[in-house]
Amino acid sequence: MIYKFIDTNGSEISVNSLSSLQALVDSETIKENTRVKAGLRGKWTTASNIEELVFEVKKADEPEEIQEPEEDIKSFITKEDKPEEVVTADKPEEVVTADKPEEAVIEEKTEEDIVEPWKNEKVVDVLETSDQQPEAEKEKSEYELEEEKRDKTYDDENVVGLNFFQAIQTCLKKYFIIKGRASRSEYWYFQLLFSPFAFYAGFWSEPVSTGMIDPPPFYLISLVLVVLLFIPAITSQVRRFHDKDKSAWFILINLIPFVGWIIVLVICIDKGTAGKNRFGEYPLKANNKK
């Protein structure tokens, strides 16, 4: 765990382990009232409140008459009072500036050089930034890896579809053939030819058959074309179902009004199975253009 404390200069220093923090306590760089916090989001407290830290207890039988040199007492005062200067603005500046000896600063620097708990401060910063990396970026990198592994051979930009005339020619060649698969371009271009004639002939068929009106223009031509193109329209739809890896019996869904027509429409619009399925190879050729 990362610990932070405020040194006598008022600087915030990071320590990468509890043992490093204990080493600073042993060297008296950190006192009992030094402000310390555990982790990046911890609350500031005094070092004495951290149970894991062990402070040396002064011997009780030490003669009171023996006093440390005046310079050490002053440095001790400045060391303990310096952090409070950051928190409370009531402390007079004269006590710190006038009485703090330069030797105390030199001693602190030498102690820091000996302990060097923040020698790996750059490493800690790198670890912090890596731990705080947004999850969205990690998910994005995983998605990119999956996208690279995905087989793009059968994407639309990598295959050659049929144009209108090629689709009509293919469906007429496979007039009675239900084996194999039909691509979307093959099926829908043929439907583009067949559907207008079927709609026109179906619209006028009842009035003409009942004798209500005379056959309108192009009615007989449309009726003949519907009869000729009906079989390849059925076989191309079966092959379209095969392209979706579905049985030819799905064509019976057309007998269900409205709901069945919508189901057939959704199946025929959707892209076929990538690669080979149980009904044959992929119906379109790969695009060799770079």
Over residues 209-225, the pLDDT tens digits come to: 888 888 888 889 999 99
The residue that leads in pLDDT, 76 or 162, is 162
Query: Among the listed ranges 53-62, 200-209, 225-234, which one has the minimum average pLDDT value?
Result: 53-62
Mean of all residue pLDDT scores within the chain: 76
pLDDT value at position 105?
43
- Does 282 score more than 80 pLDDT? yes
State the pLDDT confidence band at 280, using cuts at 50, 70 and 90. very high
pLDDT (average), residues 240-261: 94
pLDDT value at position 106?
43
Q: Using one digit for the tens of pLDDT, what is the confidence trace for 5-34?
A: 787 777 778 877 778 877 887 877 777 778
Output Rg (C-alpha) for the chain, integer angstroms: 43
- 91 in Cβ contact with 85 (< 8 Å): yes
Q: Using one digit for the tens of pLDDT, what is the confidence trace for 79-105?
A: 554 444 444 445 444 444 444 444 444
State the pLDDT confidence band at 129, using cuts at 50, 70 and 90. low
pLDDT value at position 60?
52
> Across the strands, what pairs with 15?
3
Q: 135-151: string of b/e by CB count within 10 Å (b at 16+)?
A: eeeeeeeeeeeeeeeee
pLDDT value at position 268?
95
pLDDT value at position 36?
81
Q: Of the spans 72-86, 138-152, 233-247, which averages the highest pLDDT?
A: 233-247
Question: In angstroms, what CA-CA distances link 106 with 28, 55, 112, 117?
Answer: 14, 23, 10, 18
- Domain edges within the chain: 3-131, 156-286
pLDDT value at position 92?
45
What one-letter code names the amino acid at 194? F
Residue written as token pair 């223009």: 217
